[in-house]
Amino acid sequence: MTEQPVRTRYAPSPTGDPHVGNIRTALFAWALARRTGGQFLLRIEDTDRTRYVPSSLEAIYESLRWLGLDWDEGPIVGGPYAPYIQSERLPYYHEVANRLLAEGKAYRCFCTVERLDALRAEQQRRKQPPGYDGLCRSIPPAEAEARAGEPHVIRFKMPREGQTVLRDAIRGEVVFENALQDDFVLLKSDGYPTYHLAAIADDIAMRITHVIRGEEWLSSAPKHIRLYEALGAPEPVWAHLPVILGTDRKKLSKRSGDTSVLEYREKGYLPEAMVNFLALLGWSLDDKTTIVDRETFVRNFSLERVGANPAVFDIERLDYLNGYYIRAMSPDRWAATVVEWCEAHLPSSVPRPLDRSVLEAAAPLLQERVTRLADIDDLVLFLFTERAPEYEPELLVERLAGDRDFALRVVDAALLALDALPPQEWTRERVEGAVRSLESALGTKLRKFVAVLYVAVMGRPQGIPLFDSMALLGRERTLLRLREARAKLERMHG
RNA sequence: GGCGCGUUCGUCUAGAGGCCUAGGACGCCGCCCUUUCAAGGCGGAGAUCGCGGGUUCGAAUCCCGCACGCGCUACCA
């Protein structure tokens, strides 16, 4: 509905790698900005020096880049409201706090941490709503100014009566009793602002029109609404996104599964799959659509179609989408993806650079059986080793009801038929012909005995098609592996 | 404890009073295809719409209560 260009922002705090729930918020904020032809900003909220993790800055940029969420203003790219890192904007927050102080909308509080702790403990013991009791609110301004050199914080004067109404784009009206709110801290004693001050002061300064954030902020919305009012700024459109839960229905965290966005990249998930997955976690296009590419998402996104109920992060849906996008790739792009992935992920014992022609030939075979890029590893490793990857002899007869003698006959027959193929005739077609000839030689259907050959060649009973595998492997390595399999079978009996 | 949000197949969801004997997708089961594994095709099971009251000719859809889940309750974000 919103056709006016909108300004949204993603404002993470650098306390670690961005989590999927967090990045979903970024995705929605980004989509709304793009959809309306507005701007999407990135702002770093590093006002808690004790939780600061330097490496997370790069992780934030990398996560956004990976998913294609480009920011119009923010770190690196700059913008008219720079700087976009809060620790570089301290003077501005002091200015805002002082203005509130001067207008009597805030006050200095000299209460010690000890008193606050004791107060909270007492309130809990008496089962009273916790919160600052407003002791320092009554200190005469003149006295407070005289004591300005002492350690203190600056608190906001919340109204003590009446209600504050939040009009949320996703949840409708939410009413809060002012009597239940307390005078929250604006400026900490270390001179840094709290989230409340910094976020709102910046949202105002940066002309943010739509504040899209997680549900965990819903409870503090009245504080923010009152701050907007005190600063004489028009309220933005608020939208509190539901939380994302783990399979255990608890808020997604390290305990209930992987949460770091970058970890999904390392496991071989495609950004387009992740975007599609995240887009449908809380938002829907209609009653049928489940494949939503980035463009479709942007073109159709609206806050009106975002649900208010928490969603479970179901990895199986992500897997499905990832497989879908892998199969949807053009053969060329897929081949390039395979080469790049293998160069970076095959064991270091495999010499580089890898043989591109082998990987390019295997690519189409991989495309229809890979869910995550990491699945490629086990599927192609056998092509880059002299012998078959290590395997137990029992594996050779596993699908033959343990019939060792039969397995031996299969291998012998295969050896005979394949050895008869001269090197220049070692093609997929001829290999297939040779192997299929075993049907009559052994008097059994191919499917009844191929498993032995799969294991002999690739060390596992399943993988990419056998004839292609043998063709790619070449005559010598194939025969070598069959002979080794034979030796294993002979030794087995015991 | 208080305040707030939420509650449709196992999961993501469609549904904004009659189109719902509740639709789609993932997953699951079966069949087909097939050199393994997949992929693909076809079909199936699966939600008395958290529970209880209302309002209405009629409620998944509106109202109230309850239950449960989650969030917040810091000089953290």
Query: Which ipTM was obtained for this model?
Result: 0.95
- How far, in Å, CA of A274 to CA of A277, rounded? 5
Determine whether the distance from the CB of A254 to the nearest atom of strand B is below 7 Å: no
Percent residues over pLDDT 70 in chain A: 98
Averaged pLDDT of chain A: 95
pLDDT computed for residue A248 by the predictor: 78
Residue A112 has pLDDT above 60, yes or no: yes
**Res. A130 pLDDT band, cuts 50 70 90:** confident
Per residue in A220-240, pLDDT tens? 999 999 999 999 999 999 999
**CB-based burial label for A116 (10 Å; 0-12, 13-18, 19+):** middle
Per residue in A389-409, pLDDT tens? 999 999 999 999 899 999 999
Q: Is A251 tagged catalytic?
A: no
> Region A40-47: what's the mean pLDDT?
98
CA-to-C1' distance for A164 and B67, Å?
Answer: 29
CA-to-C1' distance for A425 and B48, Å?
Answer: 68
Q: Which residue gives the smallest C-alpha to C1' distance to B26?
A: A317
> Region A121-146: what's the mean pLDDT?
89
Any residues with CB less than 8 A from the CB of A477 and at least 6 apart, and which? Answer: A386
Which domains, ranges and CATH numbers included, belong to chain A?
7-84+244-320 (3.40.50.620), 89-241 (3.40.50.620), 329-384 (1.10.8), 393-491 (1.10.10.350)
CA-to-C1' distance for A281 and B55, Å?
Answer: 35
Residue A1 has pLDDT above 90, yes or no: no
Chain A window 357-416, residues with Cβ within 7 A of nucleic strand B? 368-369
- How far, in Å, CA of A218 to CA of A433, rounded? 68
Chain A window 336-355, residues with Cβ within 7 A of nucleic strand B? none
Any residues with CB less than 8 A from the CB of A313 and at least 6 apart, and which? Answer: A20, A21, A244, A245, A246, A247, A252, A257, A281
> Region A279-292: what's the mean pLDDT?
95
CA-to-C1' distance for A290 and B33, Å?
Answer: 26
Per residue in A152-198, pLDDT tens? 999 999 999 999 999 999 999 999 999 999 999 999 999 999 999 99
- How far, in Å, CA of A436 to CA of A256, rounded? 49
Residue A2 has pLDDT above 50, yes or no: no
Per residue in A50-59, pLDDT tens? 999 999 999 9
Name the β-bridge partners of A10: A42
- Which nucleotide is closest to the Cα of A194 by its C1'? B75
Residue A258 has pLDDT above 70, yes or no: no
Per residue in A195-220, pLDDT tens? 999 999 999 999 999 999 999 999 99
